Amino acid sequence: DAGVIQSPRHEVTEMGQEVTLRCKPISGHNSLFWYRQTMMRGLELLIYFNNNVPIDDSGMPEDRFSAKMPNASFSTLKIQPSEPRDSAVYFCASSPPGRTTEAFFGQGTRLTVV
Amino acid sequence: AQSVTQLGSHVSVSEGALVLLRCNYSSSVPPYLFWYVQYPNQGLQLLLKYTTGATLVKGINGFEAEFKKSETSFHLTKPSAHMSDAAEYFCAVSGRSGGGADGLTFGKGTHLIIQP
């Protein structure tokens, strides 16, 4: 299996622009998570889906952030408009069914907003 | 709600010495506990996990951790450090209060430095 695939690996954009991050979870996994990693705040859970349904989006920082999972093999995290403080590494992770399973992480997207 | 505290943002040990990375957690439900490792410019990789049963769990690369409920701790150890162990280590807790997966709450991470 190729693992969790995120694209792009790096993104540099100007403040005010829309940014879309993409994630393909591992086939057969039914839970998908978006995390953000910064030096100041560490790893934060933004949102997660179970069977394509958003379960908890309490970690989404503000309305500029939105996430979708239109099917079991694809998810997006969108920031519109982007701001410099959104600069971070964004990780997508997926888990197979079951309560004791761990999350498998993608390699992340490094976002820089200038 | 859950929280994780990792004592020491940086830990330095000599090659061949014992590695001890400390993790304390807080959870309102029986916790599931995890240690992940992150190498530079990489995603996180699972080292080991505790869910139920035996409190001493063994993971990859010679690491192990012991769940101590009375101390709310889940410290990570390795008897003999290797240069390749240099990385960032994260402790995480999941409440797993319902069916299916739940999001992880991570500690701030501990940067492990191995001295030759």
The pLDDT tens digits for A6-36 are: 999 999 999 999 999 999 999 999 999 999 9
Q: What is the pLDDT of residue B27?
A: 85
Strand residue runs (E) in B1-116: 2-7, 10-14, 19-27, 32-38, 44-50, 56-58, 64-68, 73-78, 87-94, 105-106, 110-115
Q: What is the pLDDT of residue B100?
A: 46
On chain B, the residues whose CB falls within 8 A of the CB of A105 are 36, 43-45
Categorize the per-residue pLDDT at B99 as very low, low, confident or very high, splitting at 50, 70 and 90. very low
Q: What is the pLDDT of residue B101?
A: 55
Q: What is the pLDDT of residue B47?
A: 96
Cα B84–Cα B88–Cα B93 angle in degrees, nearest 5: 125
Cβ atoms A13, A72 nearer than 8 A? no
One-letter amino acid at B40 equals: P
CB pair distance less than 8 Å for B43 and A106: yes
Q: Which residue of B has its CA nearest to A3?
A: B43
Q: In this structure, are strands A109-113 and A10-13 parallel, antiparallel, or unpaired?
A: parallel
Q: Which two tokens stand for residue A10?
A: 């790096």
Chain B residues 41-60 within an 8 A CB cutoff of chain A = 41-46, 49, 51-52
Least confident piece of the model among A27-31, A40-44, B65-69, B93-97: B93-97
Q: Which residue of B has its CA nearest to A4?
A: B43
Categorize the per-residue pLDDT at A61 as very low, low, confident or very high, splitting at 50, 70 and 90. confident
| Residue from the list B34, B45, B106 with its beta carbon closest to the beta carbon of A42 | B106
pLDDT digits over A63-107, tens only? 999 999 999 999 999 999 999 999 999 999 999 887 667 889 999
| Residue from the list A99, A104, A108 with its beta carbon closest to the beta carbon of B100 | A99
